[in-house]
Amino acid sequence: MKTREENLCEENYPEYEDEDTQRDKYLTFHVGPEDYGIDIENVTEIIRMQKIADLPNVPDYVKGVINLRGKVIPVVDMRKRFELEEREYDDRTCIIVVNVNNTLVGLVVDSVNEVADIPRDEVEPPPQKVGYESEYYIKGFGKIGREVKILLNVEKVLFETTMENADVANANAN
């Protein structure tokens, strides 16, 4: 019999035609000591860990690529992305395949929790430049009962290398 986590690793999250069905919904997952959430509208599917082909000359958090039904998809280890201690992958480790700006990317997470409904009035904005680069990636803090989920801006997690680089890019654009 499969555990709930194993079943979550095999679920598909198809793109819905009705945007209202996705509003305020977040796929929640665990990385290191924290629970995170990403907009469900970015999630394509969740798959079990599979063989990842190494790539040369990429940031250390880019684990490589996978072949998913004929599509080559880069894979980012979220532990490495957040500069957390590495650990062995286990049967709860999953790859969340996200679509951001028409680019598919796999996110390796420790485990997937659930799809949570977090109304906008239960989301607190992130602090303004407290001094930690990771806060740049935070979209907000979602409150579910007594728990708090860190809601991520997936685009910034994947495509912005550092807050300083983003500030330089923004300054150059002006």
DSSP H helical ranges for 29-162 = 78-81, 154-159
How far apart are the C-alpha atoms of 67 and 69, rounded to whole Å? 6
CA atoms within 13 A on the CB side of 126: 18
Classify strands 103-109 and 71-77 as parallel, antiparallel or unpaired: parallel
118's CB contacts (< 8 A; 6+ apart) are 24, 25, 26, 37, 142, 143, 144, 149, 151
Predicted local distance difference test score (pLDDT) of residue 174: 39
How far apart are the C-alpha atoms of 170 and 164, rounded to whole Å? 10
CATH code where residue 120 lies: 2.40.50.180
Domain interval for residue 143: 4-173
Q: How many domains does the chain have?
A: 1
155's CB contacts (< 8 A; 6+ apart) are 100, 101
Predicted local distance difference test score (pLDDT) of residue 9: 60
pLDDT, tens digit, 9 for 90 and up, residues 20-44? 667 889 999 999 999 999 999 999 9
Predicted local distance difference test score (pLDDT) of residue 126: 81
Residue whose token pair is 């969340």:
96
Token pair for residue 97?
């395949």
- Residue type at position 30: H
How far apart are the C-alpha atoms of 14 and 85, rounded to whole Å? 33
Predicted local distance difference test score (pLDDT) of residue 158: 87
List of the chain residues with pLDDT < 70: 1-21, 128-135, 160-174
